[in-house]
Structure 1
Amino acid sequence: MFEGYTLAELGSIFAMQGFAGLILFSVFVLMALGLAIIFGQMGVINMAHGEFLILGAYITYFTSNFFLNHIPALFSVYFFVAMALAFVGAGALGMLVEWAMIRHLYRRPLDTLLATWGLSLILQQFYRSVFGAREVGVELPQWLIGSLPVTDVIEVPINGLFVMALTLMITIAVGVLMYRSRWGKQVRAVMQNRVMAGAVGIDTEKVDRYTFGIGCGIAGVAGSAFTMVGSTGPTSGQLYIVDTFLVVVFGGAQSLLGTIASAFVISQAQSTMEFFLSGSMAKVLTLLTVVGILMLRPQGLFVLKVRR
């Protein structure tokens, strides 16, 4: 696999692929954070999570066009407006879905899987009918275009650095929200003992709705970041949903730290192997490795210890 490369060339390849893996890691983390909240904290298998990401991407695309055509003087800051709109739009749709469908299916994981898979197909067809089947790309502001030279052969794209910085800020915000806020304590109380949480005055239905909405809203922000690294189409979200579930399960369904650690391991492994092998073979080897580890440690890398 490494034949024909000098040590210097291999060093440059691993450095470039390592940074590409960090960009993929950022997208994985943004998607997996929302999924970890929904799946890990609520036990809901949301197969439509990728479609919430694509909703955020489409919102970013139309926000970009609106600023470009109507407020060109402010085009350089449109992305921050787009992220806020993507969070609100995807979060509002998530709360609607929770109220209309998910709340009737709690403690029935197979039913939530089938129902959200059907919702995924509905949303894909809706996007295809409203936005068209053609993939679209977002025009980036000038300050996000270009790259920074690290060495003579290695350059780092500026938009990749921005996506990583965005991921870091959102990860910190989610950590503070889940472990330092009153709402986070209520979410963990409902997760550990719903009946007792209700008995002490916590509105469990409200906690469920806001939890699902925030998880979907984070997916919307991930969609905004996704527009910087790929084109947007009605089925683009399905390209990441399996990898995202793999990240959440491998890291430990109820551990945000495990989600981040597994996203890093999987993204770096895929990015490096894709250079030397085909993309499909890289995914197969990554999947086989993760499955093998999960057979030895089925609870994932990190486990939330709860007193029973």
Structure 2
Amino acid sequence: MDFTFISGQLFTGLSVASILLLAALGLALSFGLMRVINMAHGEFLMVGGYLTYLAAQWAGPTLGDAWLWVAFPLAFLGAGLLGAVMEFAVIRRLYGRPLDTLLATFGISLILQQAARQLFGSTGVPVTAPAWLGGALTLGDVTLPFVRLFVIALALIVLAGMWWLLNRSPFGMHVRAVNQNREMAAALGVNTRSLDMLVFSLGAGIAGVAGVGLALIAPVNPTVGAAYIVNAFLVVVVGGVGSVLGAAVAAVLLGFVTALAEGFTSSSLAQAILLVLVVAFLQWKPRGLIPTKSRALEEA
């Protein structure tokens, strides 16, 4: 049991957990508020990654390393706009029909993947991180790359922003009211349809930001979102549907378990171990680590 090896794996797991958390936050919101099983959510992450690549190609020669600060709003707005279009054109017509929603969003994910292949090719496109992210912090025998530390810090900033938005703003009060009792919130004047679109777009935008972090770590390809969607759903279920804090805790736990399992076994076996542990956990706490109170969930 090499301490250096285990420390490195845990740090890798923490950086992976950061991407998972950003991807799962949108799912926690949309699934918790609208009960929508969005199989195309991973493609918002893919869109954010490709927009990061385009920002590096277009703004890099002009702005130098500052192109990264262009990539964040571009990825957030681009993925958020795509989410708004998807909610308006498809999702809102399928509320209350979870199986139809699952099939429709799965079809949209395939369409978006094929569109990415046509535009960028089937191989991954690399994004060169700014020079100031090229070094590493050394603690004893453990090396912590700056780019992964940056992704972890990004996840913490977004998590703090989401906590403030949901707990300290009028928008968050409306979201919590609709999540707890949609009919009563609508009777009190909350425009639930507009709120659904805003929440869905916000979740898509956060996934786009996750794509920026992912692009700094690994090449972006058309199926990169599909590789994260299953674990993102696991984070939502283990953390508690609709719980942002629960998603954060679950993302860290699943990231650590995956990294350690991959270090001692293989990627495929590590995924199988993770699924077995999740099933066993849900037998013990079927509503997740930090469940939210919701009349819709109690009736489901």
Shorter-chain TM-score range: over 0.9
Structure 2: runs of 5 or more not aligned:
none
Query: 2:131 is matched with which residue?
Result: 142
Query: 1:120 is matched with which residue?
Result: 109
Query: 1:211 is matched with which residue?
Result: 199
Map residues 54-133 of structure 1 onto 2, 5 A cutoff.
Answer: 54-69=46-61, 71=62, 74-133=63-122
Q: Distance in 2 between matches of 1:155 and 1:305?
A: 42
Query: 1:23 is matched with which residue?
Result: 15
Structure 1: runs of 5 or more not aligned:
none
Cα offsets for 1:19-70 (capped at 9, x unmatched): 111101111111011111111222111100110100000000010011233x
Structure 1: which amino acid aligns with 2:59? F
Q: Does residue 46 in structure 1 map to residue 38 in structure 2?
A: yes
2:163 counterpart (152, 163, 175): 175
Cα offsets for 1:171-193 (capped at 9, x unmatched): 00011111111011111222222
Alpha-carbon shift at residue 124 of structure 1 (Å): 0.5
1:292 counterpart (268, 273, 280): 280
Q: Distance in 2 between matches of 1:92 and 1:232?
A: 20
Q: Distance in 2 between matches of 1:191 and 1:256?
A: 13
* TM-score using structure 1 length: 0.93
Query: Larger Cα Rg: Structure 1 or Structure 2?
Result: 1
Alpha-carbon shift at residue 275 of structure 1 (Å): 1.1
Query: 2:173 is matched with which residue?
Result: 185
Cα offsets for 1:138-168 (capped at 9, x unmatched): 01111010211111x2111000111111111
Cα offsets for 1:209-238 (capped at 9, x unmatched): 101000000000000010122110111111
Query: 1:257 is matched with which residue?
Result: 245
Query: 1:277 is matched with which residue?
Result: 265
Q: Does residue 233 in structure 1 map to residue 221 in structure 2?
A: yes
Structure 1: which amino acid aligns with 2:22? L
Q: Distance in 2 between matches of 1:257 and 1:61?
A: 31
Note the aligned Cα RMSD (angstroms).
1.2
- What stretches of structure 1 move > 4 A for 4+ residues in a row? none
Rate the CA distance shift 1:306–1:39 in 2: closer, same or farther, 3 A: closer
Q: Does residue 194 in structure 1 map to residue 182 in structure 2?
A: yes
Q: Distance in 2 between matches of 1:53 and 1:113?
A: 18
Q: Distance in 2 between matches of 1:284 and 1:210?
A: 36
